[in-house]
Structure 1
Amino acid sequence: MNIRFEWIRRTTIISFLLIMLLTASVFISFPFQIYITSVLALLLAGTGVYHLIEANRIQKLLFRTSDILTRSTERDFSSLDDGEKHIINHEISNLIEQLEDSVKQTENILSEKDKLEKEAEELRRKVKSMERNLNRQVIEVRDRMRGNSDAFNEIISGLSSLVDACGREKGMIDSLMKTYSGYSRQYGSIRDSVNNSRSICGREESRGRDAETVLNALYEKDEERVEKIHTVIHGIGNIKEVTGIINEVAEKASILSLNAAIESAHAGEAGKGFSVVAEEVGVLADMTAEHAEIINQALFSVTDTMYESRFTETDNGEEETFAVIGGTIREMIASFREIDQLLDFLGQLEQPEDFDISSETLKDRNKIEKTLSLLENMKKEWEMTLEDITRFPLFEESADLSGAKSSPLTRHETAIRPVDDSVGGEELD
């Protein structure tokens, strides 16, 4: 009996400990709270069942004690001896003690039952509070998950758009690479055009020197002076046509320089190098126009002087006339040399070895297009100039007069200098 009562006491203590653990589990995440609540409910239910069984056992013991007392009172104790009476009294005393113990245990059980009922009620309130907290936490977690889901969808959408943009960029880079390959081939043709233009400039300068030689020879041949003066006048008329062509070239070069400067400004940082070319083209165009104007003025002066002095016999007048003609030829050769220098500058533009296609192809494409257009126009103008110059009567007689001696015209030779071999004859790398 005492052992069983001790077990009930221990079970009650364990129940209190479990209730304290349940209180502490409020601060733990909700899945573990549900687990602990279920375990505590099972333990309390087991404790209540055990108390009911123990109460039933005590009730049976009371009925048995009452039955023994009833039967003992019905028996006749007169026939019993003292030993039997003593045994019976001893058993009755034991039963009374057991009954008293059972009554005490019953009182304790009832007291424990009241406590357990109170604890169960408190536990039910805590469970309800936990359920409300859990529901609130579930709602909060659901809202956070919904917000995270929206953010995740936005991230996926951004990644999809980024992948699409990368695909478009790859296609653009492929097309730019094809375009760059085409313009690399055109760059070779540009270099050939520059070399041809430089060769033309060299030939034209050589012909200018031949013209000077012809004029010196004409100065020595007094008997053919009148006929040669007519020839020179005719050649001066052709030179006027050439100066007109040079003016057109200067105007077109100026327009090309302006367009190239605009395109280099659009190109930004990568167009600085090409803007230098545009500035050089503009400067040389202005200088060509100025020299062409000087040539025109000199030609008008020469024509007037020759018409005025065609019948004059003085050596001073002849020397001055040929000096003016020589100065005119020098100006024309200087103009050719400046244009040759422009072509030489353009020809020195080398193709870059390490070319970043992804960042520079589009900008260099505009540069190559403008340079190609400029050189093609200049090539056409120089071809026309070459055709006009080769028709000059002055140059047709240069072969017969190449052995003539120098004249006083050399005293005015301040503008003509030999052409550097690197200008007219050296090919581009």
Structure 2
Amino acid sequence: MKLNGKFSFIILFTVFQSVILTVFSIVNITQIQNLKNYQIMEIKTESQLASIVDYLEKMDYWDFEIETAYSAFDSKKTSITESFNYLLENPIIDSFPEDFKSSLKQTKLTWQLLNDSFGPVENILRTMEATKPNTSVHTSIKSFGIRETANLYTQDEDILNLLSLTEDAHTQIKKIRLLYVSLMELNTKTLNNIERIVLERETKFVAITIIFAAVTSIILACMIFLVTSKISKRIIKVKDVTSTLAEKDFTANVNPEGSDEMHMLMANISDMVTQINNFFLLVKSTAKKAIDAEAIINESANSTATASTQIDSNIDEMSKKFTEMVEVMNAAIGVIAEMNVHVDTLVKSNNVQTTAIENSNSAVKEVVKTLESMSKMAEERMESAQEMHTYVADGDDKITATNEILGHVAEQLDEVYEVVTIINNVAEQTNLLSMNAAIESAHAGEAGKGFGVVAEEIRSLAEETSENADKISRVVNAIVQAVENANKSSQSAFEAFEKVSAHADQIVSSLQEITGGIGRIDSQMLQIKQRSEETSSAADEMNKYCGDLAGKQQKVSQQVDNMNEVFFQAILSLKKIKEETADIVQKMKNVSSSSDESYRNLSELETVLEEFKTSEVGKTVMEEPVAVEPEADVPVVNEKPVVIEKPAVIEKPVVIEAPAAVEKTEEPEIPEIMEEEIPIMEDEVKEEAPAAPVEKKSGGFEMFSRSNSGSDIFATSSETSEVDEVKEIGERGVVGAENENVKLVYKSPSLDEINAKLNQLAMAGGFGISDDMFKNDDLESTILQK
């Protein structure tokens, strides 16, 4: 198993242990806390029970408030009832022992009896609270109590009643006291049981927690010991090997053990020691070869400096020719710029005229829109007036119909009035008949009493009928008056509708005249709009011709600017090449002057390398290496001259003139014949004593010199320089200058990249280049600013 798996298992076991302990602790602590809460509630219930009994026993004391007697008792009873409900209905009771449950059942039964015995006392307290004694009695009760007040006011019924209620309450309190004592004993027993259960559970919880933690900790310690003991043994082996390596002895070896990460670590250390051993063998051989090649570098540096001086002189000639060409291009750009100014002036004047015409056209359009809107509004108002006229006529018809209906109603009311008159006459006759019947019944004596009663009823009915007839007559008169008022109002409305109809006819005729006038104005404004559009079209044609002329002149200016920009890029490139060649000459001088220091350093390196113990095919090398066989493509170092096989070969011996700095030290033995790869172009080497090739990269250009005189020089961009326009060889066109054997290759930018810049330069009248600029060291910054 890997170390990661082993330690992950240990961590998971630790997490499992922690989770089990945490969950177990939370569950048990919660249960214990619930028991303690139950215990606290028992104590609280005892206090509440003692409070309510004490309250009842102090009913005849001087500080007893009769006006709140029942309210205070009811509040205490409600509170203690809630407490007992919590104690007797709590789910935690299910976890109690059976004897404890039976004790709680007795407590519940006793509490029910006690609660029932509170009933008579409640009635007494309710009656006492309802009693309202006079002020003096009430003050005396507060000061001396009910009994003393009863002795003072022996004739007062309220105080006597209160005294009687107090004695009855004390009789009930004796019963309550007995139940209270029994209930308190049960509560004390319950508290003792709860305390015992809490202690047992706490002890059990602590014991289980300690046992589980101890067992799991022992298991975890054993696992950690087994894992770390094996790792420690292999770490000691690794430490011994690293101590040997610290003493510069790379002959030590590590035998990997196991199959985990430590096995991989030991295997990697073994491979590392082998690789370091091979590396030191290679470095020793390479150091000897570097010492032999130091003199060749000096000769190459001298040849490169000579070729760079020739390049510098050729660049000066090319810069002068490009300067003359730039002056000619500046003159052409100035002429084109003046033409552009005149064309722009003409275009601006035409644009002002076009703008004025467009504004006038817009105003005409606004007037036409306003007239059209007014015409629509007039038509809508005329339609509204016609609809109003129609509504007025319809109102006239409806008012006429209303007048007719009111006439019919008046006629019917006249008929009702006649019926009421008839009813009054009938009532009068009936009244007379009832009087005659009453007289006749009086004459008949006892035999006519029944007829007299009937006659009296008839008379009463006749009087009621007469009264109702009078009421109907009054109502009919009121209705007749209302109908007459409605008829008058209808007549007034009819006259008003006639006036409205006449005014509506006048409004319709006026709106028709307005609509006709707006139509004539609209046609005239349309003619004005057409004339404005024709004028604007002619101005647009003129503006178009001017724009075409300006565009053609702009194209000519762009072409000239493109040529001018190409020349500027050529000048920048030549200046850059000149700076680079000067830098190359300086660098080659530095290389020559530092070769002596390099030789001494290599000699010291060789001495230091000899201190490291290395092995080859199982042998330990303490002194100079005899022969080394490194990996492929690594040169072999032995007592023979150094030979490096490469494609291009210089078959003739190389004569090296070492610089003065090298002559002061002991130079290494230089072999007479060398074979070395030289990266050259397609040409063949024809010189008898060719210089070693030197490749120098600086500031974005690569220089290659291949002869002592008139060599071909290629400048190519290898990295982004300050002037982005210089590109790789042969990609997009070539513009250059030749001077003897010097050739410059570069690429000009596209027109889209410099379009905005050329337009600004053309309007300014040229680039303003002079010969003095090429004598200034800040040439590049000046051109970039322009």
TM-score by length of 2: 0.18
Higher relative contact order (CA 8 A, sep 6+): 1
TM-score by length of 1: 0.30
